[in-house]
Chains A and B, each alone.
Chain A
Amino acid sequence: MFEYFYHEIIRKTVIAFGTLFNKIQIRKTDDSGNVVSVIEVPLAYGPTQKFLARLEQSPDLNKPFQMNLPRMSFEISGINYDSRRKTTATQTFLSHSISDKSDIRKAYMPVPYDIDFELSIMTKQNDDMLQVIEQILPYFQPSYNLTVDLIESIGEKRDIPIILNSINMQDDYEGDFSTRRALIYTLRFTAKTYLFGPVSTDNATSDIIKKVSIGFVSGESNKSPTRELTYTVEPQATKNYTGTIVTNISNDVEVSDTTIEVNSASDISSKSYITINNETLYVKSKVSNKLTVERGQYNTPISLHVSGSEVKSITAQDNLLIEPGDDFGFSDSFV
């Protein structure tokens, strides 16, 4: 019934949440106001394997101190469906990854979920706690937006508001002297994230339409119809995709020049397109190694080309490599 998928969205939300509280510092001054100590507050996701914690934090068993303070810990405290952000369950959309625009995938609309977090802060002194709290609270009014790349394969970046719900202050300073003072603040947040279902593993549309033909058919009531004309349109690349260099220009080409000289024009045919640097040119004709060209094709900028610049031709092979999202032209024919 179900196919396997795992986007690590909850884990990414945990990381994104933790990032908000990274790099918080505590600075201490002497009586003259000079800074005497700077501490960066350690932060960790609280739940962990017991044996791992023991191995990492007490490798030699004999800790000289009880623990180090200050410390901050955060953990998920709940996951709830958020019906207020509900969208049509059957709606799908197409998207591509950030790195590869041709890699288009189909995905269903995400399901809105609220992930509750608890951030606990433990400090040795109230002064430390107040410094930490004051560096956190101004950012939450009462929420702070994070843009998280939830699924890299479809480039799905979502704004996830992190909402500060409550602050619980615990300062157990009363009682007998056998119990230490415990100074722990607990901040409760809600991250309004989205959970995605399966994303198609196949490229949804890996190519552009390569050919469109329209036939014009005529006939009479007493005569079977015949196809009189077929009009065909095919995409034509406006730039070189293969990267194949056919030659180099042998002289500088000024902006106003319409004749260019190349080292060898044997691989360039007339009535074809070539690119030099970022400019696409149309070769009207060639005589020996001299090409008569029309500059600035397909709205490419007409610019100076110094001698030695690489010349690449646009061929039918490039037409096949046009990527979705690219600009391209058309060639048409009648049959």
Chain B
Amino acid sequence: MLNPFFLQGSKGEQNLVQDLINEQIKMYGIDVHYIPRRFVTKKTVIEEVIQSKFDSAFPIEAYLISYDGYGGQGTLLSKFGIQDVDELILVVSKERFETYIAPLIKNLPNIELSTRPKEGDLIYFPLGDRIFEIKYVEHESPFYQLQKNYVYELKCELFRYEDEDFDTDIDQIDDNIVDQGYTKTFTMVGSGSTATAVTSVVNGAVSYISITNRGRGYTSTPTVAISSSPSPGGTAAGIATLITGIVDLCDPTGTGYRVQGVQLTNPGYGYTISPKVAFYGGGGEGAEAVSYISDGSIGIVTVTNGGSGYITAPQVSVVGSSATSAEVYSSITNGIVTSVTIVNSGAGYTESPTFIFSNPYMVGFGTYQYNETVIGSASSTTAKVNSWNANTNILELMNISGDFENDELVVGQESQAVYKIRIIEEFDITDPYSSNDEIEEESDAIIDFSEVNPFGMP
């Protein structure tokens, strides 16, 4: 029979014990952050939360059960790389959780169960700057002293990171996911500059070359040969362009290449009659062309400034007084104009015409912030910023929702930074465990995917 002179669990006694426990935890405990899990996507049938978000963190005092060190198996090397199997057991006050954290998280969207600490939520442990996942919440230890339980015992193990979204606005927590996941590297257009080029006026130059027979069966670009000029050093030169997809009796599948045209890299000078044009090599045969000459044509076009920031080769206008306007095309490498080829060198120029290149994208601005959301203006793809280098214009993104498009703007939702994509790199797995790139690089040298087994797969 219980002692009738004690109440064995009156409200006052229970409150006293709770207050004493709260005091003890506040005196001997440490401050941790409680990070509730928000469910982004939950699959039915195969019951799983496949996408989670952690965007809030609440400081709360907790008593560390063992100051001797982490529990668990410590650091292991497995076939899946190094695993830190560290465990932690924390005690938090039941009253403090229910009166402080529960009201703050109960109205957050996609929070399942706010009345108690729950499995799957995270604890930020500041002493080790590490993030633990709650595996199990023990609510009956100590067991009903004065008919009530006063604490939650949180059994935690280090979190296994996949691609969860961390955006708690607490830098110590959010910076833990730098280079942890799967990023993609983008080279953005910074402040571009416009290219410039000059030329001269020459007489007896090849004005253009007309293809009279495309030939067939080319596998690579044939060499273009043009008759030598009577004037020493005045021989014209050109580059053939190819076309595929033409279906006829010679090529029923349309997979072979034919000569589409010739672009002049040098129109030459001093020709008195139209030079012959021949094609050699390239694996095909039959291509034929004729040339036409004229006076007052443009000569070799020299790029004096390649500019920068071009995503596609800029259009070039030839401005000058002439009987027939010249027509030229530019080509770029790494965003810089490297050459200008001539389709028609024109006729009747008395002075060197000027070239006007279309402008590159020149209005990129701002500084992307770490972990902010960015959105592609055309694709609407979203991602988070892993890093931004303003000097190299390299933007690393993580948590990517789809495929960004070349040439689209990437807009930072917090910084308002806007830059245009110039180059999209392949996936860059920053996980040091990964050997994907090395395997691919080595396999390129030894595996021949062009080989086809005529007998099919066994």
The digit string for B102-139, where 1 denotes a CB below 8 A from any CB of A, is 00000000000000000100000000111100011000
Residues of chain B contacted by A307 (CB below 8 angstroms): 227-228, 275-276
What residues on A are CB-neighbors of B46 within 8 Å? 126-127, 130
Q: Is the CB of B155 within 8 A of A57?
A: no
Interface residues of chain A: helix, strand, loop or mixed (majority): mixed
Interface pairs (9), CB distance under 8 Å: A36-B382, A40-B429, A46-B80, A65-B176, A67-B81, A71-B81, A304-B276, A306-B228, A306-B277
Count of B residues near A, CB < 8 Å? 76
What's the nearest-Cβ distance from chain A to residue B16, in Å? 32
Q: Which of B294-302, B344-352, B417-425, B448-456 contacts A (4 or more CB under 8 A)?
A: B448-456
Q: What residues of chain A have their CB less than 8 Å away from a CB belonging to chain B?
A: 12, 15-16, 18-19, 22-23, 28-31, 34-40, 42-48, 50, 53-54, 56-59, 62-71, 73, 75, 120, 122, 124-128, 130, 141, 143-150, 157, 159, 161, 176-178, 180, 248, 250, 252, 277-278, 301, 303-309
Instruction: From A29, A37, A125, A176, give the contact of B48 (CB < 8 A).
Output: A125
The stretch that binds A, out of B159-167, B319-327, B406-414, is B159-167
Evaluate whether A69 and B448 lie within 8 angstroms (CB atoms) in the complex, with A42-B429, A127-B46, A252-B227 already known: no
Name which residue of chain A comes closest to B72, CB basis.
A66
Write out the residue numbers on chain B whose beta carbons fall within 8 Å of the beta carbon of A176: 136
4 closest A-B pairs by CB = A308-B228, A42-B434, A177-B136, A46-B79
B163 touches A39 (CB 8 A): yes
Residues in B whose Cβ lies below 8 Å from that of A75: 79
CB pair B160–A147 under 8 Å, yes or no, is: no
User: B77 interface residue, CB < 8 Å from A?
Assistant: yes
Check if B160 sits within 8 Å of A68, measured CB to CB. yes
Of the candidate stretches B185-193, B253-261, B437-445, the one touching chain A is: B437-445
**Closest Cβ neighbor of B128 among chain A residues:** A62
Within 8 Å CB of A68, what residues of B?
A: 160-162, 180-181, 431, 433
CB distance from B236 to the nearest CB of A (A): 10
Point out the residues of chain A lying under 8 angstroms from B135, CB to CB: 177-178, 180
Given known contacts A35-B401, A177-B135, what 15 new A-B pairs fall within 8 Å (CB)? A19-B447, A23-B436, A28-B50, A36-B399, A46-B79, A57-B433, A66-B86, A67-B161, A68-B180, A128-B50, A145-B457, A159-B451, A277-B225, A278-B281, A309-B225
Q: Contact mask B49-89 → A, CB, 8 Å, 1/0?
A: 01100000000000000000000000101011111111000
Cα-based distance from A64 to B122 in the complex (angstroms): 12
- In Å, the complex CA distance between A308 and B439 comes to 49
CA distance A31 to B443 in the complex (A): 39
Residues in A whose Cβ lies below 8 Å from that of B227: 252, 306-308
| Whole-angstrom CA separation of A39 from B447 in the bound complex | 25
Nearest-Cβ distance from residue A49 to partner chain B, whole angstroms: 10
CB distance from B224 to the nearest CB of A (A): 10
